[in-house]
Structure 1
Amino acid sequence: MQSTRALPQALRASTLVLVAALGLLAAAAPSVALGQRTEQRSLELKVGELVTLSSAGVSTYSVGNEAVIDVKPLNGRMVIVGKQAGESSLLLIYGQDRQVNYAVTVLQPAKGNTSAASLAVPERVNIRLDLYYVEINRSSQLQVGIKWPSALGGQLNMIRGQVPLEPSGAATFDMSLQQILPTIDMLHATGWGRVLRHGTVVTTNGTQAEFDSGGEVYIASVAPTGQASFQTLTFGSRLSVTPNYDKDTGRVEVKVEGEFGDLFDTGADYPGKNRTTSRSTANLALGQAFAIGGVEAKSSTRSKRGLPGLGQIPILGVLFGSHGSEDLEKENIIIVVPTVVDTVPGRTAGILDEVLTSYASFSGDIEDAELSRALNAGAPKKRK
């Protein structure tokens, strides 16, 4: 009887365990279905090397060891730079249903059996950037008519000295009244100008480079307290570029900040400054000339001055007033041309020889001794 009772209890216990197990499986099944699908990938690079990955669809990312790699999202790409030898992970999350985990290994570049003087930083691609600034302008000015004074009056001048008395006992005084007469106002002036600035910068991939060529003008100013101070007015060309070259696509992403300024005479004690500034990021093909900025401006000014009422008479009003007009037209454009180059140490001496030869043979004609030609003659071979 005892064995008969014990058997149903064992069956009931087994049934409860089975039901509990099925419940756990049923509860776990939705979590597996809703879980993210993780892909495991590996990535290997050297210290100082730059690698890019597509970031299309990536909502967020996480870096395991920031001391080993540096990751920056940049216009649809993930730029990865090896900082020091070691291992790290890079997790890219695509929405809610997919994620990719990269096992990143950063290697120390092989130094080989060379002397300590020849041990250098890892080889990195050099980017040459040519920036051109071109400006053309034209001006026209016309002034015609009769220029009348804005106020009529005179100045009474007394002649001082000994005045003889007439027999009648009266004295004679001499005085003059200076009247301001109208003048004929006739002026026609035209002119044009052009400006060309060409700056060249060579830097390693992913490294910011700066170039500044110009000068400074110090302008004195006096405060209400009587204390004098100086203000600095800079002019010339200033260029800052950061290139990122993707060897897989053969394109270069260039971040450019440039400023071009020239001084002009204001007729006062201090000059004015024409300034053009551009901040842009562009994705270009190698050797492609791309305009990153420009402006086209036109201005017209009309003026009329003369005697009230009379100067407003049609046709005859020219005799009682002066009419003026001024037209200005200006266009400028900024063009950047990126090039990937291979450095060849043997050509360094050739560049120096070209520059020194141009310097020694210069006799006043800039066209015959242009330094930019020496730079282009010794420039490294372009990588296509």
Structure 2
Amino acid sequence: MARNSLVFLKRFIQPAGAVLAYCLATSLPYAAHAQDVGAQPPAPPAPAIPKPISGSLNLSMGSGQIVRLPHPVASIFAADPNVVEVRPASPTSLFMFGKGVGQTNVIATDGSGNTVAQYNVVVGPSSFASNRLAGQSKLSAPNSSVHAESEPGGMVVRGTVETPEQANQVMGQAKLISPSGTIANDLTVKEPIQVELKVRIAYMSRSVTRQLGIDWGSVGTSAFKLGKFALAGATGTAPASISGTVPGQLGVVFPGGTFEGIIDALASDNLAHIVAEPTLTTLSGTQANFLVGGQFPVPVAQSASTSTGGSVVTVQFENYGVQLSFTPTVFSDGRISLQVSPKLSQISTANSFVSTVGNSSLVIPALTVQGASTTVILGSGQGMAIAGLLQDSTNQTDNAVPGLGEVPVLGALFRGDSFQREQQELVITVTPYLVDPVSNTGLLASPDDGWTPPNDLQRILLLRNSGGPYKNAAMPGDAGFVVQ
């Protein structure tokens, strides 16, 4: 029994010793490695992220600037590329170029995505035109103070000049320096001059003007010519005046400025139709407008609506009638540079536009427009005429005896057709005047000032047209002749 126990113990100790020896053999390398790891120095700390810089930058359109950066960058972002264009000049510098007026942001980052710099960029209009005009205005207006301010849509000219002629010269220089943009005139003239413009627009029969031999080209000269000699002959040039006896020619020479009397004479005999006689007064260098007529609605299709999905139709009103716009500029010697743009328009159904909407149709009328635009230089009281705008009208009338005119073949004996063609000429006369304000308001009176209607007794028995007392006309001076 004891022998068997010893054998069992011997068999158990031998395998346990082998397992223990294996564990010790495998654990010694790991212990040595642990001692080596504990002996290594600690890892270095992570590099610090640089603090980004920020700032503002003002540029002019068409100019650029180089910006220095504290660290190299890898990427550049511009919020609005239409305002500013950014290009890398070096790893630590950027070139910013102003492309359009506006405001945007520019951000630069490094390779890790960290922000290195951030700028708020403002691009303004180019100051080249305003600086150029400031230098040129010193030559045309030496005793004036003129300065210009650049705006996104153009330029504003401000300051004070001595005469309207200087203001006209400064604005002409501004249009040459900045031809594409809008130029706002905010100049002040120390001595403003007012100009009154009398315009007469009339229709005259073309056949009557040919028969009378009216020469509208002589208007504005020293004499206004009326007659056969005012027209050019078939074989030569018409004579300027008649001396002695000239076979086959007859004419009358009126002093300058009396051509309006010819229009009044023709209008009294229904040979001319005066459409409008506007009188406008404005300052030198300021535009004045005149309209006698009306407005008619015109539907205009707009962009599609997001809510309904269909197009939106709005109404736009168009002017028709007699329109006049003029801009006078008074020179230092009293001459007037006049830019006149008269226009006469009428509603016509001849070229009307028909638009079909669903089951209904919409008729949009057209306009027949006659007008002109010109610039002349006149003296105060001198006149000019614009003619040559013709209008043709054709009338055809059919007359017949009732019943008999419808009989075949023989009905032609009882019918009559008349064909009439009429050609009218639009004549526009313009006369400018230099005017001053009236300090005595009593001089300004209309013919019916102080007039009262008469009662029955005054009207029937006394045959009076006014109920108030008659005013005795007083001569401003002694009657007589003026000898020059």
TM over 0.5: no
Choose 1 or 2 for highest CA Rg: 2
Structure of greater relative contact order (alpha carbons < 8 Å, 6+ residues apart): 1
Q: TM-score, normalised by structure 2?
A: 0.32
TM-score, normalisation: structure 1 = 0.40
Of Structure 1 and Structure 2, the greater strand share is in: 1
